[in-house]
Amino acid sequence: MTRAHGDGCGCFPTGRHYPGIAHLLRVNVRGVAEEFPADKPWRELDIALLDVETTGRDASVDRVVEVGIVVGRGGEVVSRYNWLVNPGMKIPDEARAVHGISDDDVKDAPRFEAIAHEIAAALSGCVPSAYNAAFDKAFILGEFARAKSVTDRSFSEVPALRREVDWVDPLVWARDIQANEKSRALGDVAARLGIALENAHRASDDAEAALRVFYALGKDPRVPMAYGALVQEQRRLSQKQADERRYWRN
């Protein structure tokens, strides 16, 4: 378990300010990538926003057909990546209706194991992030698990590929900051923030819009400035939101 200072901006992980004493506190920060100082402002770190398009919603049986990664630093986009992927199975009509990617589009595309090293390189040295991160993380870890068995490579040095590292999730923050809005779908959240999303449900377009959404939401005073505090508060909000969803379902 990593031990790190609280939010270096002089506030607790909740974002509430207590000048002069926050630097005296030490908190356990679970989920942070050890490569990055927990008290460093997250805006100064490279953030890799990843989006996948898939053959379905079950990461245990469905496969990735497109990967998009957009890397940001200091509020600006610094690099973009996109790969079409041959999933080795037919793309169901219901999945194609969402993202528009057909069997013909991916028939000559590489299998995931052929480009795994490129994807790992794009994610290396970055704080991992995704909109509705549990979905994308499950798929990308599943694909890398298969690729590792084929290529006999180890990707454990990449933060995004370690299960214990939390991915920053703009959806969690949208649910909190835009709690009074009916929809927190990426397109709706982006539109309310004045962020363009021209090709929804294509990987790199969704990834860039989600990254810009996170930078916009990150200006809200409820979002901690330090990386470790951000992860800790996101964990608290995620649990709170999950509890609320269970309550309303019951």
How confident is the model at residue 148, as a pLDDT?
79
- Domain shared by 15 and 106, yes or no: no
- From first to last of its 250 residues, the chain has per-residue pLDDT tens of 333 434 444 444 454 444 444 444 445 689 999 999 999 999 999 999 999 999 999 999 999 999 999 999 999 999 999 999 999 999 999 999 999 999 999 999 999 999 999 999 999 999 999 999 999 999 999 999 999 776 555 688 999 999 999 999 999 999 999 999 999 999 999 999 999 998 999 999 999 999 999 999 999 999 999 999 999 999 999 999 999 988 888 7
- Domain CATH for 127: 3.30.420.10
Work out the number of other CB atoms within 10 angstroms of the CB of residue 35: 14
The answer to whether residues 200 and 246 belong to one domain is no
Is there a single domain that holds both residue 11 and residue 98?
no
The whole domain housing 231 covers 1-39+227-250
Do both 128 and 176 map to the same domain? yes
- Is 210 found in the same domain as 102? yes
Q: Does 144 share its domain with 177? A: yes
Predicted local distance difference test score (pLDDT) of residue 151: 58
Cα maximum dimension of the chain: 61
The total number of structural domains in the chain stands at 2
Whether residues 191 and 118 share a domain: the answer is yes
Give residue 152's pLDDT.
53
Residues 83 and 135 in one domain: yes
Shared-domain flag, residues 89 and 178: yes
79 shares its domain with 151: yes
Q: Please tell me whether residues 78 and 181 are part of one structural domain.
A: yes
- Tell me: do 120 and 191 sit in the same domain: yes
pLDDT at 247: 83
pLDDT at 248: 84
